[in-house]
Amino acid sequence: MKKRVVITGMGVVAPNAVGLDDFEDALRKGTSGIRFEEELQRLKFSCQIAGKPQISEEKIAEYFTPLQLRGLNSSGIIYGVIAGTDAWKDAKLKIEENEAPDWNSGIVFGTGILGVDKFREGIYLIDAGKTRRLGSTTVMQTMASGISAYLGGKLGCGNQVTTNSSACTTGTEALLMGFERIIAGKAKRMLVGSCSDHGPYVWGPFDAMRILPAKYNENPSEASRPMSASAAGFVPGSGAGALVLEDYESAKARGAKIYAEVLGGVVNSGGQRGGGSMTAANSEAVVKCIEEAVHFSGISADEIDAINGHLTATTRDGLEIENWKKALKREDFPYINSLKGMTGHCLAASGSIECVASVLQMDKNFIFGNVNCEDLNPEISDLISEEKVPRETLKKPVKILAKSSFGFGDVNAVVIFKKVME
């Protein structure tokens, strides 16, 4: 009999809130975390706004030792450690510093690029002939697996501890990697998630591509407009999301709270063929990913109550809805929303933050509204009923939700969550 995998803990560091309670409140209220950034103005960016989590130095000191804080200059690691630790504690799992490794617990925590500011700092020191001043933590802060290494040591995980990277699909892919390890019987629980650095050295290349909205610098909260006719590009963001996945029997045995069940999902690629490219998804692959995720989850398309889409506020939003229509083959389209109107596009962190948002909706029986979507794109209104794109939060039970992520490199991931009725 196939193992069941459930979610027993979550943590989040998002541009519009840090921590589950504040994040839920922000979702319900449609609170924006997009702000004007003076540094981007000074550096003459066209788009001078971004989504950056607001965390005090005092808060950061709660998660790192004084030694770890010395020379710490990687925002992605900070965000990931906070979200991951919070998820672990939310699952009521202990952190035993002097005990043996927990052989049954592992980590898959992804990122896109890590320690960019630390790299910059190191380059200047090396070019000035001051290599010895780099410090002993530079390697840990700049290696891609730095985030999983930090969390693995903090939590004492003795199972697989690794980092994945698949652009904007990273967080959802990490969840499915952890899910598959538990299904295979190789772990009882896996901490999964992803993080992304903030700052001009991460966001600059996107500004150079002219795909960011430059005309909203004086109105930051209105800039990210998924599914809107006036969408002008995605707003860059940063942060981290984390979820504890656990074998159902293990969770029940220790009396853990169960947020939702992971029914299954699929990761695939369009091979940059058939209209797909480095920056655009192959629609055939997207449709196939959705169809197979539904099939392998053991449900019918008609059972899906809601979709949390990728939907980045670009010209591709309409095509994403069209692909969902083709894949689900149903007249009564599910409710669909996008978190990016509130947070911007948090790049590698987007999938995990949005998975947390998806599961919160299921746990608390609501569907958050689509911010800045007063003028629904005609391409979308021709495909689905406007009422399926809620502008305000709906009080509504969601039994089954589909979450999608589509990333640069033509890579896709879709996961299916189910509310567990205990």
- Rounded average pLDDT over 171-181: 98
pLDDT digits (tens, 9 = 90+) for 58-112: 999 999 988 888 888 899 999 999 999 999 999 999 998 878 999 999 999 999 9
Residue 56's nearest CA partner among 91, 92, 19, 84 is 19
Q: Do 237 and 305 reside in the same domain of the chain?
A: no
Per the DSSP assignment, residues forming a β-bridge with 306 are 335, 401
pLDDT bucket at 1, cuts 50 / 70 / 90: low
Encoded amino acid at 393, one letter: T
Instruction: Report residue 341 as tokens.
Output: 């109107």
**pLDDT above 80 (res 33):** yes
Q: Do 216 and 273 reside in the same domain of the chain?
A: no
The beta strands (E) that lie in 142-299 are given as 161-162, 189-196, 239-247, 260-269
- Rounded average pLDDT over 128-146: 89
Q: To the nearest whole number, what is the mean pLDDT of the chain?
A: 96
**pLDDT above 90 (res 397):** yes
Q: Do 65 and 105 reside in the same domain of the chain?
A: yes
Spacing of C-alpha 142 from chain mean position: 21
Which CATH number belongs to the domain containing residue 293 in this structure?
A: 3.40.47.10
Instruction: Report residue 405 as tokens.
Output: 């992520």
Residue that terminates a domain, selected from 201, 229, 253? 253
- Tell me if 26 is assigned to some domain: yes
**pLDDT above 70 (res 422):** no
Rounded Cα gap, residues 296 and 2, in angstroms: 12
SS3 call for 411: strand
Q: Do 107 and 196 reside in the same domain of the chain?
A: yes
- What is the structure's pLDDT at 98? 77
Residue that terminates a domain, selected from 232, 253, 274? 253
- Tell me if 259 is assigned to some domain: no
3-state helix, strand, coil in the chain (%, to 5): 40, 20, 40
- Tell me if 260 is assigned to some domain: no
- Tell me if 381 is assigned to some domain: yes
- Tell me if 152 is assigned to some domain: yes
- Tell me if 99 is assigned to some domain: yes
Instruction: Report residue 255 as tokens.
Output: 């009396």
Would you call 386 exposed, middle or buried from its count of C-beta atoms within 10 A (0-12, 13-18, 19+)?
exposed
Percent of the chain scoring above 90 in pLDDT: 90
Other residues' Cβ atoms within 10 Å of the Cβ of residue 208: 11
**pLDDT above 90 (res 382):** yes
Indicate the helix (H) or strand (E) that contains 351: helix 350-364
pLDDT digits (tens, 9 = 90+) for 204-230: 999 999 999 999 999 999 999 999 999
pLDDT digits (tens, 9 = 90+) for 180-197: 999 999 999 999 999 999
Cβ-proximal residues to 352 (8 Å cutoff; 6+ apart), any chain: 83, 110, 170, 171, 172, 174, 175, 192, 193, 194, 195, 240, 241, 242, 243
- Tell me if 96 is assigned to some domain: yes
Q: Tell whether pTM > 0.95.
A: yes
Q: Do 405 and 317 reside in the same domain of the chain?
A: yes
Q: Do 249 and 274 reside in the same domain of the chain?
A: no
Residue that terminates a domain, selected from 253, 281, 296? 253
- For 373, the domain range is 265-418
Contact 191, 151 (CB under 8 A): yes
- Rounded average pLDDT over 244-267: 97
Q: Do 232 and 296 reside in the same domain of the chain?
A: no
Q: Do 188 and 317 reside in the same domain of the chain?
A: no
Encoded amino acid at 165, one letter: S
Q: Do 298 and 379 reside in the same domain of the chain?
A: yes
SS3 call for 400: strand
Q: Do 235 and 283 reside in the same domain of the chain?
A: no
pLDDT digits (tens, 9 = 90+) for 307-357: 999 999 999 999 999 999 999 999 899 999 999 999 999 999 999 999 999
pLDDT bucket at 138, cuts 50 / 70 / 90: confident
Rounded Cα gap, residues 266 and 412, in angstroms: 8
Q: Do 66 and 142 reside in the same domain of the chain?
A: yes
- Tell me if 210 is assigned to some domain: yes
Cβ-proximal residues to 350 (8 Å cutoff; 6+ apart), any chain: 168, 171, 196, 237, 310, 339, 340, 343, 405
Instruction: Report residue 265 as tokens.
Output: 């999902």
Q: How many domains does the chain have?
A: 2
Q: Do 214 and 349 reside in the same domain of the chain?
A: no
Residue 343's nearest CA partner among 192, 244, 196, 205 is 196
